[in-house]
A = this chain, B = another copy of it.
Amino acid sequence: MTGRLLLDEFLPYRLVRASELVSRRFAARYRAAYGISRPEWRTFAILGQLGNTTATEIGRRSTMHKTKVSRAVAALEKRGWLSRATDVADRRAEQLELTEEGAKVYGELVALARSFQAELLRDLGFEAADRLDAGLAAVEKHFLREE
Contact = CB atoms under 8 A, between A and B. Distances in A.
Interface of A: 1-7, 10-26, 42, 45-46, 48-49, 51, 61-63, 107, 109-111, 113-114, 116-117, 120-121, 123-125, 128-140, 142-144
Contact of A135 (B10, B16, B136): B136
Interface of A is mostly: helix
A97 to B, nearest CB: 13
Contacts of A107: 2
A37 to B, nearest CB: 14
B136 A124 contact: no
A128 B132 contact: no
Contact of A5 (B6, B114, B120, B125): B114
A140 B17 contact: yes
Contacts of A42: 13
A21 B114 CA distance: 24
Name, among A62, A130, A142, the residue most crowded by chain B CB atoms within 10 Å (CB to CB): A142
B12 A140 contact: no
Given A21-B63, A63-B17, A128 B134 contact: yes
B11 A132 contact: yes
